[in-house]
Structure formats: structure tokens, C-alpha cells
Amino acid sequence: MSHGDDLALTHVALLIGDQDEALTFYRDLIGLQVRSDIPFADDQRWLTVGPVDQPHLEILLETPGMSPDPVNQTARQARLDSGAQGTLIFDTNDLDGTFTRIKDAGATVAQPIVEQPYGRDCAFTDPWGNQLRFHARQHHHG
């Protein structure tokens, strides 16, 4: 067995400012499924969402206060305040429909649909500056 053969990516974390607002954005505007919503210390929640067709992948909607380290909390808050956040990239079979649905739901368009060297895509930003890119799924014939 080589190194990494037994590894599986199960969670990624996005830094957000408010879990209730993030839940509304990611569940209602983007269309992700809630996987976990478990309260724990100091009014925090383990709140995860994910694509319906990828049940083993969860996106943790994480606030700066979820870190037990006050120095880390301060650094996370500074990063959140700067607007420099993470990126999620989704594939879709219906880029035009996805773009229209999310735009009409009120999400901020960062990039309309454009033709890129790698295919068609578009982008939105969440209220904290995280970028969500949507790429037209490529169908390969072999």
C-alpha cells in the first residue's frame, strides 16, 4: 500500500461570519443539503452542507469563534474582515439554468457565464467573500 491509499476527503471548511445567514445562503440560494446542525459550546454549531449527489463530502460553515485558540480566533476574524476567503468549484450539467436560478435567488454575481480555455463557467460570492464557481460538466466520449 502506498502512502495515502486509505485517505478520503470528507470535509472542507469555509470561513463565514454568521451561521444562520450562511445556512440560508448555502441551503436556499445555492441548493446544498444540510448534513449536520449540532450545537456545542458558546453558541456555536457544527453546521455542514453538501451537494445532494455527494453524500460523503461536507462543507463546514465555520465562524472565527469556533477555534478554541484566541490568537487563531483573532487571525480568522482579520481574514474574514479582509474579504479574502476560500473558493468552492462545482460542476453542473446545466450551467445556464444554474446561473439563472442562483442569480434570480439574489446571490452576488462575481462573473457571468464566459467561455474559458477549459470550458464555460461563472462565479458568485457569498456574503463573506467566498467564491463559488460553477463549471459546465464536460462529457468525455472514449
Q: Of 130, 142, 116, 122, which Cα lies nearest the Cα of 85?
A: 130
The pLDDT value recorded for residue 5 is 80
Helix extents (H) in 68-114: 70-82, 95-104
**Spatial distance between the Cα atoms of 52 and 55, rounded to a whole number of angstroms:** 6
Do residues 90 and 51 touch, judged by C-beta distance below 8 A? yes
pLDDT > 70? residue 1:
no
What's the pLDDT tens digit per position in 35-88? Answer: 999 998 777 899 999 999 999 999 999 998 887 777 888 888 888 888 768 999
What's the pLDDT tens digit per position in 105-127? Answer: 999 999 999 999 999 999 999 99
pLDDT > 90? residue 138:
no
The pLDDT value recorded for residue 84 is 66
pTM of the full structure: 0.86
